[in-house]
């Protein structure tokens, strides 16, 4: 992962690191700096930050002016009133500020890291940025057991959705078989690619290349539960529309081109827009953060991964999918038998 965190265009990359509390904790331990423990968090004055990164306070002020909103969002704040009085009583020997100071800018640890990501002229900040990126990768890999190809399956909602998707998929494949010309094996991949293009602007081959999947890797096994739900809903709608068009034509079979036209029309429906955009945003953003995979066609949907999403996939809310499969292998065997029948 080689990313220039100092760039003004790298706010998503910076936020992804800061929203990952597991990586932030690991970075804090590796640095070994604590600051002043005040009101249940470690805080740093501008002078402390400047000293650590070996720059002038004026440089810190300049970055505070340029990146005010970002730094405030990540924990920079002005300490005033009673809070400032209490801080002075506890840490007067460290603050080194005039007694008449009425407000004092403080960085919590996230904001301390945030400005370190921005300081282009600090060699110490550059070394820290390099360490941060390595720690982020190792933390995610450690918490997922060594890889992120199937990190989507750590979501507790994945298995129920995957089972439902298998059943709903039949509604599309049966409609293709009954109502479309030359419904051979190849038609399923053609129509699936057209649906993928409509839902997340990539066909299966493009998606495989972006995620560096092997020939034996199943694309759907790597999709997030929310993306699977959108695809499933879309395919169910396509299957129903195929049957309706078939009846309208006096039970005459549709061409592949007609089915592709149905898919294109459905993707343009206003009711589809919020679902498609949500799926695109989740896939683009999570793959960028967890898999270091960039979906160029979905760049406009890219955002920072939220702290809750980190919990869902690498935190206390995530599951060990292999153990879930083992615990439910009898249920899955019966489901597969039902599919075969």
Q: pLDDT tens, 103-144?
A: 899 999 999 999 999 999 999 999 999 999 899 989 998 888
Sign of CA dihedral 178, 182, 188, 192: negative
Tokens of 152: 């989507």
Sign of CA dihedral 188, 189, 192, 194: negative
Gyration radius of the chain's alpha carbons:
26
Q: What is the rounded distance in angstroms from the CA atom of residue 301 to the CA atom of residue 298?
A: 5
Q: What is the rounded distance in angstroms from the CA atom of residue 165 to the CA atom of residue 236?
A: 10
Q: Is the pLDDT of residue 155 over 80?
A: yes
Element (H, E) at 104: strand 103-108
Q: What is the rounded distance in angstroms from the CA atom of residue 184 to the CA atom of residue 170?
A: 15
pLDDT at 34: 80
Among 312, 255, 249, which residue's Cα sits nearest to residue 286?
312
Q: What is the rounded distance in angstroms from the CA atom of residue 286 to the CA atom of residue 305?
A: 6
pTM of the model: 0.86
pLDDT average, residue stretch 26-49: 91
Asked if 183 contacts 256 with a C-beta cutoff of 8 angstroms, the reply is: no
pLDDT at 101: 76
Q: What is the rounded distance in angstroms from the CA atom of residue 285 to the CA atom of residue 301?
A: 8
pLDDT at 333: 54
Count other Cβ atoms within 10 Å, centred on residue 177. 13
Alpha helices in 145-216 (DSSP H): 158-179, 185-200, 204-211
Q: Is the pLDDT of residue 337 over 60?
A: no
pLDDT at 95: 78
pLDDT at 1: 46
Q: pLDDT tens, 303-323?
A: 999 999 999 999 988 877 666
Element (H, E) at 53: helix 46-53
């Amino acid at each position: 992962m080689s990313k220039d965190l100092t760039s003004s265009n790298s706010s998503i990359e910076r936020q992804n690191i800061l929203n990952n509390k597991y990586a932030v904790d690991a970075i804090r331990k590796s640095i070994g700096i604590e600051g002043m423990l005040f009101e249940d968090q470690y805080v740093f004055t501008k002078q402390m930050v400047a000293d650590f990164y070996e720059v002038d306070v004026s440089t810190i002020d300049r970055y505070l002016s340029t990146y005010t909103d970002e730094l405030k969002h990540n924990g920079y704040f002005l300490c005033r009133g009673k809070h400032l009085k209490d801080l002075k009583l506890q840490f007067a020997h460290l603050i080194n500020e005039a007694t008449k100071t009425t407000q004092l800018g403080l960085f919590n640890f996230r904001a301390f890291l945030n400005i370190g990501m921005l300081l282009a002229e600090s060699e110490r900040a550059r070394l820290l940025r390099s360490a941060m990126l390595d720690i982020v990768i190792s933390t995610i890999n450690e918490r997922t057991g060594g890889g992120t190809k199937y990190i989507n399956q750590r979501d507790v909602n994945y298995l129920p959705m995957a089972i439902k998707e298998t059943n709903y998929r039949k509604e599309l494949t049966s409609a293709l078989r009954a109502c479309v010309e030359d419904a051979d094996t190849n038609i399923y991949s053609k129509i699936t690619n057209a649906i993928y293009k409509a839902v997340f602007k990539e066909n299966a081959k493009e998606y495989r290349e972006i995620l560096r999947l092997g020939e034996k890797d199943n694309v759907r096994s790597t999709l997030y539960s929310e993306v699977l739900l959108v695809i499933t809903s879309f395919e169910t709608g396509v299957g129903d529309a195929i049957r309706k068009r078939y009846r309208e034509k006096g039970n005459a079979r549709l061409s592949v081109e007609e089915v592709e036209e149905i898919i294109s029309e459905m993707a343009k429906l206003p009711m589809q827009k919020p679902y498609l955009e949500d799926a695109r945003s989740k896939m683009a953003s999570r793959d960028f953060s967890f898999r270091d995979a960039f979906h160029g066609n979905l760049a406009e949907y890219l955002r920072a991964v939220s702290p809750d999403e980190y919990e869902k996939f690498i935190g206390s809310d995530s599951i060990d999918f292999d153990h879930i499969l083992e615990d439910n292998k009898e249920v899955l065997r019966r489901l597969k038998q039902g599919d075969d029948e």
